[in-house]
Amino acid sequence: MMASTLPFAQAEPSAYFLRVPKVQTAPVVFASPHSGRHYPDAFVASSRLDATSLRRSEDAYVDLLFEGVPDHGAPLIAAHYARAYCDLNREPYELDPAMFSGPLPVAANTRSPRVASGLGTIARTVGSGLGIYRSKLSVDEVERRLGACYRPYHAQLERMIAATHEQFGWCLLVDCHSMPSVMGDVSYQPGSHTMDLVLGDCHGQACSEEITALIETFLSEKGYGVVRNAPYSGGFTTCHYGNPELKSHSIQIEINRNLYLDESSISPGPNFDRLRADLDGMAGALTQWARQWRGGGGRGVGGRGVGGRGAGGAGS
């Protein structure tokens, strides 16, 4: 892929795409909210950044790393639109008021750590800290993007979780992400076993310890350095949909981009296929185990629904 071009130059797509098995046989749903590669023409025109810089926030090709999960009886939902355009792993109104030409809705969360870093629902910066826009946006643009991207994606994700609950009595949501190999002054190199993958379960509040331990053990035995909850403990998706008491578990997986990506050109690296095979093996082991487990918890689904704690800890 040429570094100077943006992928998916096409008519406006749907908010998400699905990869689903012919029959869902495991109580597991995979999601990739930050791998979207569609950058609308009007958005690109409004930006001061070049094409490659705009993609610095993208969890590039994470959807392809997990594209084999339907072979294990689990569905995958992935974003079409770029994270820089609308971030699906945020509260709907995590917004920086300085970005907009009018007053925001009263319900807007303008003080979250994500907003402060420039990475709210409508981002002010890309992951590298560069400002995106030439001028302020209209407040109407917020509702337009939420309607085109955010609300359809989460409505579909909620339907998938509810259907999984109905079929199996419980659900595990695996939220799939990637992280830069350089964060601040710290560089994480492949093979260093420092931080190849980060598992975020909101410090045990969003997912059973058994599930987190199973994933950690599998990936560690493949030779990866796996840590929990630092620097990413789980974003909006993990904390909102994860509620083990209601047999709804959610875990975030952050993958060091140095494992699979040429970060300068944002193209698949030489170890892409190996990592994809190892993650596919993890998905196979996880779904096989999940078929035998009963979901933990004690009250089933009811009352306040399958999600319900809000944004929680730090997430990508």
DSSP string, 257-293: GGGTEETTTTEE-TTHHHHHHHHHHHHHHHHHHHHH-
DSSP 43: H
**What pLDDT is recorded for position 316?**
80
Q: Which two tokens stand for residue 210?
A: 């058994």
**Is 219 within the bounds of a domain?**
yes
**Is 302 within the bounds of a domain?**
no
**What pLDDT is recorded for position 194?**
75
Task: Calculate ∠ Cα 114-190-63, nearest 5°.
Answer: 55
Q: List, for the chain, all residue ranges whose pLDDT scores fall below the cut of 70.
A: 1-12, 183-193, 297-315
**Is 311 within the bounds of a domain?**
no
**Is 308 within the bounds of a domain?**
no
CA 56 to chain centre: 15
**Is 108 within the bounds of a domain?**
yes
**What pLDDT is recorded for position 301?**
35
Q: Which two tokens stand for residue 231?
A: 């620097």
| Secondary structure E strands in the chain | 16-19, 28-32, 76-79, 171-179, 182-183, 186-187, 197-200, 226-228, 248-256, 261-262, 267-268
* CATH number for the domain that contains residue 153: 3.40.630.40
**What pLDDT is recorded for position 226?**
96
> pTM of the prediction?
0.90
Inter-CA distances, 25 with 85, 266, 291, 296, Å: 34, 35, 8, 19
Q: How many other CB atoms sit within 10 Å of the CB of residue 246?
A: 23
**Is 298 within the bounds of a domain?**
no
Work out how many domains the chain is built from and give that number. 1
Of 262, 270, 272, 227, nearest to 64 (Cα)?
Answer: 272
Cα separation, 73 vs 29, whole angstroms: 9
Structural domain harbouring 100? 16-292
**What pLDDT is recorded for position 186?**
53
**Is 197 within the bounds of a domain?**
yes
Of 88, 59, 206, nearest to 156 (Cα)?
Answer: 88
**What pLDDT is recorded for position 314?**
55
Of 168, 203, 173, nearest to 286 (Cα)?
Answer: 173
